[in-house]
Amino acid sequence: MSIAKGFTRDDRFIDAVLRPNCFEDYIGQEKIKQNLQIILRAARKRRESADHLLFFGPTGLGKTTLASLVAKEMGAEIKVVAGPTLKKTGDLAAILSAIEPGDVLFIDECHRLNRTIEEMLYPAMEERNLRLILGKGLGARVVSLSLPPFTLIAATTRVNLLSSPLRSRFGGAFHLDYYTPDEIGAIVNRSAGLLGIGIKDDAVSLVAQASRFTPRLANRLLKRSRDFAEVKGFGEITADTVQKTLDLLGIDSLGLESDDRRLLLAIIKKFNNHPVGLNTLAAALSEDRGTIEEVYEPYLIRLGFLERRPSGRVATEAARRHLKIN
Ligand code: ADE
């Protein structure tokens, strides 16, 4: 099973154990942490709820974690909803009308909110006003409810898909970027400590290199390596354990999985590395456009293996070298 996509209930439980509980424990994203801490301190001093915040960037970089730290820092409750689950205005109305003073409302995948829901958010964010249309046709009337102070935190992997009216209503917008290998190494060491397993330095480096600069994947790889070490009766995780775990999972030294390789190979071989449009590529791979854009491409671009040109996608010389294709 793919490490990027597949995870178990047990993983979710462990993820919660590994999730940092305060800003001091949160490694990386230094500028964002500094900014947030100032915003939150100022809001606390004024006894107000913090401004609405937008977090954007690739999956697995800690947007939900940061939102929960914001809530914790403000001594507030967090309510979490996924954008696509809000289908009717009534769904959002039910959530907004249950908000208590100071609450944090976290809406994940906010680029997938439909237009009417999005428009309902505008007055809620700006004037703390919930406008409901009751009834239909001539008998319809608008009821306006005032909401308590609250902080909306929205997260998205696709900030370019947000409308500018929505984007402009956030007091702060923060771009989470990939972590450095050193930061991932520090996260792996911290997580190994929390899981109570020893890990050699060269094993940490191997995990860091193969985890796509992403803490969630680093922690998963660590857990799978721990499983492997425990099954084999090893007391600690060595580089050899990590390498065997990677081989079992079909992940290479740079964290590429079969789907990433398939994508690059399709561009290089099937299309002779002529620029390929996203729709063509999606059809050739039987993959969803969104998955290609959100899951595979950001990391391949970051590695310098893929370029998005106006005329289409091309694989780079570095990708050919890594895949050993002349
Ligand atoms: N676990 C997952 N993400 C983390 C982070 N940024 N810092 C510390 N531990 C983490």
Rg of the Cα atoms in the chain: 22
The atom number, within ligand 1, closest to the CA of 26 reads 7
Q: How far is the centre of ligand 1, averaged over its atoms, from the C-alpha of 172 (Å)?
A: 22
Give yes or no: 214 in active site: no
Report the CATH number that the domain containing residue 309 is assigned in CATH. Answer: 1.10.10.10
Residue where a domain terminates, one of 230, 249, 268: 249
Report CA dihedral (153, 155, 159, 163) to the nearest 10 degrees.
-50
Residues 170 and 273 in one domain: no
Give yes or no: 108 in active site: yes
Task: Specify if 298 maps to a domain.
Answer: yes
Residues 284 and 233 in one domain: no
113-163 pLDDT per residue, tens: 999 899 999 999 999 999 888 888 888 888 899 999 999 999 999 998 899
Give yes or no: 63 in active site: yes
Residue where a domain terminates, one of 249, 271, 305: 249
Residues 88 and 165 in one domain: yes
Task: Specify if 22 maps to a domain.
Answer: no
178-226 pLDDT per residue, tens: 999 999 999 999 999 999 999 999 999 999 999 999 999 999 999 999 9
Residues 139 and 69 in one domain: yes
**Is 69 near ligand 1, meaning CB less than 6 Å away?**
no
**Is 27 near ligand 1, meaning CB less than 6 Å away?**
yes
Report the CATH number that the domain containing residue 123 is assigned in CATH. Answer: 3.40.50.300
**Is 66 near ligand 1, meaning CB less than 6 Å away?**
no
Give the per-residue SS3 of 64-130.
HHHHHHHHHHCCCCEEEEEHHHCCCHHHHHHHHHCCCCCCEEEEECHHHCCHHHHHHHHHHHHHCEE
Q: How far is the centre of ligand 1, averaged over its atoms, from the C-alpha of 251 (Å)?
A: 22
Count of the separate structural domains present in the chain: 3
Give yes or no: 64 in active site: yes
Which range marks the domain in which residue 300 is found? 258-322
Q: Please check the confidence at residue 7 and state whether its pLDDT lies above 70.
A: no
Residues 85 and 171 in one domain: yes
Report whether 153 contacts 55 (CB < 8 A): yes
Alpha-carbon distance 70 to 104, whole Å?
8
Catalytic residue among 216, 224, 226, 313: 216
Report the CATH number that the domain containing residue 218 is assigned in CATH. Answer: 1.10.8.60
Q: Which distant-in-sequence residues (6+ apart) come within 8 Å of 78 by Cβ?
A: 67, 68, 71, 103, 104, 105, 106
Task: Specify if 138 maps to a domain.
Answer: yes
47-65 pLDDT per residue, tens: 999 999 999 999 999 999 9
Single-letter residue type at 27:
I
Phi, psi torsion values for 249, nearest 5 degrees: -85, -10
Ranking 9-13, 251-255, 320-324 by mean pLDDT, the lowest is: 9-13
**Is 187 near ligand 1, meaning CB less than 6 Å away?**
yes
Task: Specify if 142 maps to a domain.
Answer: yes
Q: How far is the centre of ligand 1, averaged over its atoms, from the C-alpha of 29 (Å)?
A: 10
Looking only at the bridges linking them, the beta strands covering 151-156 and 129-134 are unpaired
Tokens in use for 237? 């995780």
pTM comes to 0.89
The atom number, within ligand 1, closest to the CA of 27 reads 7
Residues 47 and 146 in one domain: yes
Alpha-carbon distance 152 to 155, whole Å?
10
Task: Specify if 24 maps to a domain.
Answer: no
